[in-house]
C-alpha cells in the first residue's frame, strides 16, 4: 500500500508538471540575484526540530523569467555535538497560470556537512552518500491565497519519502498570517521521524515589518508549530536581512 501511494504521488506530480508546461508560461521576473540571511531562535523544518539553539540561515538565488537556481544554508550558533549544519543547492522553473497563480518545479540537494564520518561533499553514492536529493511541485495561488506543495526523495532514500503541505495566507491588522498543515507517508528509514503516515507539521506563521528608523525596516516573523506525531508544540522567532 505504501509503495502504491508513493507511486501515485510521483505520477500525480509528473501529470501536474506536464499540465503546467502545456497551459502556462514562464512566471515574470526581472533577472538578478537575491541575497538574504535569517536569524532564527531554532531551526524547525517540516515539523522536525534540527537545532535546539539559534541558527543563522544565509541564502543566495539567481532568477530569470521563471528559471531560478540558488543555495541555502543553516549554521547552528552552538558548540553542541548534536548541532546540525546544512547546505542545500536547488534549481527549478516557475510557470505562470495567470490569475490562478504559479506552478513551480524544483529539485533540491540536501547536504549535511557535519553528519557522519568520512562522507565528503563529493560522496553522491545512493544508499550511504552525503546527499539526499528531492523533487517537488509547488502550486501557489494568487486570486485565492492558497498553496499546495508536494515533495518526494528520489536519491539516497530507500523509502522515497513523501511530504505534502497545504496552506492559506490572510492579512490581519497589517500582519501577514500563514496557516499550514503538512504530513508524510512515513517510511522504514524514518526520514520524517515516523514509519507510518502521519501529520507532522501544523501551525501558524505571522510576519510583519518593523520600522527601526525612517530609512531602515526589519522584517520579523513568529511561528507556532505543532507536530502531532511527536505530540509537541514549538515556537520560533526570526528576522530577515536582505540585499540586492
pLDDT digits over 68-108, tens only? 999 999 999 987 656 678 999 999 999 999 999 999 999 99
**Tens digits of per-residue pLDDT, 152-197?**
999 999 999 999 999 999 999 889 999 999 999 999 989 999 999 9
Judged on CB neighbours under 10 Å (0-12, 13-18, 19+), 207 is middle
pTM of the model: 0.86
- Name the pLDDT band for 1 (thresholds 50, 70, 90): very low
Query: What gap in Å lies between CA 224 and CA 235, rounded to an integer?
Result: 5
Residue tagged 536547488 (cell numbers):
90
Q: Write 68-73 long-range contacts (CB < 8 A, 24+).
A: 68/29, 68/92, 68/93, 68/94, 70/34
Q: What is the mean pLDDT of residues 112-141?
A: 86
- Residue 3, pLDDT score: 44
Q: Domain 2-243: what homologous superfamily?
A: monomeric porin ompg (2.40.160.40)
More confidently predicted of 51 and 58 = 58
Percent helix, strand, coil in the chain, to 5, is 10, 55, 35
Question: Where are the domains positioned within the chain?
Answer: 2-243
Q: What is the mean pLDDT of residues 41-67?
A: 94
- Residue 11, pLDDT score: 43
- Residue 82, pLDDT score: 60
For the four alpha carbons of 48, 50, 56 and 58, in that order, the dihedral sign comes to negative
Amino acid at each position: 500500500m505504501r509503495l502504491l501511494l508513493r507511486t501515485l504521488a510521483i505520477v500525480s506530480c509528473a501529470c501536474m508538471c506536464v499540465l503546467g508546461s502545456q497551459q502556462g508560461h514562464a512566471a515574470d521576473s526581472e533577472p538578478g540575484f537575491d541575497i538574504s540571511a535569517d536569524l532564527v531562535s531554532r531551526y524547525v523544518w517540516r515539523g522536525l526540530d534540527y537545532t535546539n539553539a539559534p541558527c543563522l540561515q544565509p541564502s543566495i538565488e539567481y532568477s530569470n523569467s521563471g528559471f531560478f537556481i540558488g543555495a541555502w544554508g543553516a549554521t547552528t550558533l552552538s558548540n553542541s555535538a548534536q548541532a546540525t549544519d546544512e547546505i542545500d543547492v536547488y534549481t527549478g522553473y516557475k510557470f505562470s497560470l495567470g490569475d490562478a497563480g504559479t506552478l513551480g518545479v524544483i529539485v533540491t540537494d540536501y547536504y549535511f556537512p557535519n553528519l557522519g564520518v568520512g562522507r565528503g561533499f563529493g560522496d553522491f553514492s545512493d544508499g550511504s552518500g552525503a546527499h539526499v536529493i528531492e523533487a517537488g511541485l509547488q502550486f501557489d495561488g494568487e486570486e485565492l491565497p492558497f498553496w499546495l506543495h508536494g515533495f518526494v526523495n528520489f536519491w539516497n532514500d530507500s523509502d522515497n519519502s513523501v511530504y505534502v503541505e497545504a496552506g492559506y495566507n490572510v492579512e490581519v491588522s497589517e500582519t501577514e498570517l500563514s496557516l499550514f498543515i503538512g504530513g508524510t507517508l512515513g517510511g522504514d528509514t524514518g526520514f520524517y521521524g515516523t514509519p507510518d503516515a502521519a501529520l507532522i507539521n501544523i501551525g501558524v506563521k505571522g510576519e510583519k515589518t518593523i520600522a527601526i528608523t525612517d530609512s531602515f525596516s526589519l522584517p520579523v516573523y513568529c511561528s507556532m508549530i505543532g507536530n502531532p506525531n511527536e505530540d509537541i508544540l514549538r515556537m520560533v522567532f526570526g528576522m530577515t536581512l536582505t540585499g540586492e
